[in-house]
Amino acid sequence: MKLLHTNFYLHLYGRHRGVTGSCFLGSTHFPNKKNVRFLVDCGSFQGVDNLGYLDLNDVIPFDTQKIDFVLITHNHIDHIGLLPLLVNQGYTGPIYITKPGYGLIDIPINEAWKVHCKGKLNPSYERSDVESLFNQISGVSFNQKVHPKKNVEITFFKNGHLVGASVIEVKFTYDGMDDIRLLFTGDYHYKNLFFDVEKIPIQNRKNPYSLVVCESTYGNMDSTDERCKPILATKISEAIKNGMKVIIPTFAMGRTQEIAYLIKCMQNTELIPESIGIWQGGTSAREITNRFKYNDLGFKPNMRDFLPKNFHFVLSKERHQVCEKLLDSPNPSIIISPSGMASYGAVKTFITKAISQNDVLIIFPGYCSKDSKGHELICTPKGTEIEYGGYSQIRNCDVAISGEISAHAKRDELLAFLKDMAEPKSILINHGEENDKIAFSNYLKNHFSSEIEIFNPDYGYSINSNGIYEVFPSSFQLF
Ligand SMILES: [Zn+2]
């Protein structure tokens, strides 16, 4: 640490260790002794609970009433899932998200509520908390400045990770002092099939940020990597030619609709015949697909018409019946269904039945965290036993994975994003598996002279206009 303490500074704490449960708490100290506290995201912990950390989903480990405002980077459950619990624990202040994000946030929150209640006698929050939450959320236009408190300015910039996703700038000002400027990348991608992703305006990029909090999901992989090669269309069309059924586990929001569009393009180029049935599972995914089609979410005009021919929704009440019909049939079909990591969601019904069948290809079009069932499935060799959906079975189906349409920028793309701005004073790497965070940190150290830290929830970070100047042990408490 080479930077000096001043009387205008910020403490930043986080909750997440890996790639789920995203939540940062900032506590800004102004020279006049005033404090402003805020959250960036408030996400659920997900995955298979072999570490006991899913218990964290029942706890908000600080006094919510001390928080002044909440900022949301995007509508994935690992970034918003604990908002209702925050409200239950007494938070009554504003929550800001982008306008397209606002137009969709009810769907994942309602889904989180269903998941949360499942099998619980005493859920840790009530339905009324969900309703109150919706009244606290505001949708903000991209690049519009918001001032939730005096001396605080927030701006949401476009982010291709997901419709409505943002990169968030948080600026603290004080007369006669240099600004403290933070940039939270959230989960980041520089492009999206459905909408154009403009760069952060030059006036925001030309001066160095005090701190950039940067994700690192692909902190150890370049966009030229073998795993990013476009193989989806080839794999799917080959399987269909061989008379196989194809199951594509996807995230309900964004990925499901991108896959539908990819299949439409395959029909248009005659890679697959239009006679093959395309089936989409998942209640939330159905609602999102309909909003993509009918609501104004800022899409390119031609992307409204993204659904392939012979497309059907699988209603939850007929899921088992449709599953039997499709997977027992000698004819090929394509099933797109959440969740993307196959640990839960409608896709479990299909995968449970398909594992033992040698006429099925399961292809993962995105990232599977190491604690997910999808990862386990990928790592289980064909012909060996796997426990899935409550059954132990021999895996006879084919399994493939492709990073081709991942929603995250790869290491070189993250570098290009960071290089496009004045060199940040400091960079805090978060949201990645441990090895990827370390690899990304070493990679960035070759390109920047900034202070570079790997985020650790057991520590707090002191930041002033010149960046991180202190790292201290912390248990995510307010100071
Ligand atoms: Zn995300």
pLDDT tens across 435-446, in order? 999 999 999 999
Distance 240 CA to ligand 1 centre (A): 30
- Higher pLDDT: 47 or 304? It is 304
SS3 196: coil
pLDDT tens across 70-124, in order? 999 999 988 999 999 999 999 999 999 999 999 999 999 998 898 888 878 888 9
pLDDT (average), residues 52-75 = 87
The alpha helices in 13-172, defined as continuous H runs, are: 77-80, 83-88, 99-102, 106-117, 127-136
Distance 74 CA to ligand 1 centre (A): 7
**What is the secondary structure of 88-134 as a DSSP string?**
HTT--S-EEEEHHHHTTTHHHHHHHHHHHHTT-SS-SS-HHHHHHHH
Under 8 Å between Cβ of 180 and 122: no
Lowest mean pLDDT among 97-111, 173-187, 260-274, 400-414: 400-414
- At residue 37, the pLDDT reads 97
Lowest mean pLDDT among 21-30, 39-48, 215-224, 457-466: 39-48
Distance 73 CA to ligand 1 centre (A): 9
Q: How far apart are CA 78 and CA 76, in angstroms?
A: 5
Q: Say if residue 476's pLDDT is above 80.
A: no
- At residue 23, the pLDDT reads 93
- At residue 49, the pLDDT reads 53
pLDDT (average), residues 445-453 = 96
- At residue 438, the pLDDT reads 96
Residue 65 C-beta-side C-alpha neighbours within 13 Å: 2
pLDDT tens across 129-157, in order? 999 999 999 999 999 999 999 999 999 99
Distance 175 CA to ligand 1 centre (A): 37
Q: Say if residue 182's pLDDT is above 60.
A: yes
Pairing of strands 311-313, 245-249: unpaired
pLDDT (average), residues 413-418 = 98
Distance 161 CA to ligand 1 centre (A): 7
Q: How far apart are CA 74 and CA 92, in angstroms?
A: 20
Task: Look up tokens 């290491």; give the residue.
Answer: 411
Distance 447 CA to ligand 1 centre (A): 26
434's CB contacts (< 8 A; 6+ apart) are 18
pLDDT tens across 208-264, in order? 999 999 999 999 999 999 888 889 999 999 999 999 999 999 989 999 999 999 999
Confidence of residue 46 (pLDDT cuts 50, 70, 90): confident
Write out the two tokens for 10.
């910020």
**Residue 134: exposure state from Cβ atoms within 10 A (0-12, 13-18, ≥19):** middle
Buried b (16+ CB within 10 A) or exposed e, 108-124: bbbbbbebbeeeeeebb
Distance 411 CA to ligand 1 centre (A): 16
- At residue 215, the pLDDT reads 96
Taking the C-alpha atoms of 109, 114, 115 and 118 in order, what is their torsion angle to the nearest 10 degrees? 160
Q: How far apart are CA 75 and CA 191, in angstroms?
A: 17
Of 162, 153, 155, 146, the closest CA to residue 200 belongs to 155
Share of the chain above pLDDT 90, in %: 82
Distance 189 CA to ligand 1 centre (A): 10
Torsion angles phi and psi, residue 61, rounded to 5 = -90, 35
Distance 181 CA to ligand 1 centre (A): 23
Confidence of residue 21 (pLDDT cuts 50, 70, 90): confident
- At residue 213, the pLDDT reads 98
- At residue 15, the pLDDT reads 84
- At residue 17, the pLDDT reads 74
Q: Say if residue 429's pLDDT is above 70.
A: yes
Which residues have CB less than 5 Å away from ligand 1 (the ion)? Answer: 76, 187
Q: Say if residue 447's pLDDT is above 90.
A: yes
Distance 209 CA to ligand 1 centre (A): 23
Q: Say if residue 479's pLDDT is above 50.
A: no
Q: How far apart are CA 238 and CA 223, in angstroms?
A: 25
Of 402, 313, 314, 387, the closest CA to residue 351 belongs to 387
Distance 36 CA to ligand 1 centre (A): 27
Q: How far is CA 5 from CA 171, 244, 465, in A?
A: 18, 64, 10
Question: Which residue segments constitute the domains of the chain, with CATH numbers given?
Answer: 9-221+406-473 (3.60.15.10), 230-377 (3.40.50.10890)
Lowest mean pLDDT among 163-172, 262-271, 360-369: 360-369
Q: How far apart are CA 448 and CA 254, in angstroms?
A: 33
Q: How far apart are CA 153 and CA 36, in angstroms?
A: 12
Distance 393 CA to ligand 1 centre (A): 32
- Higher pLDDT: 47 or 280? It is 280
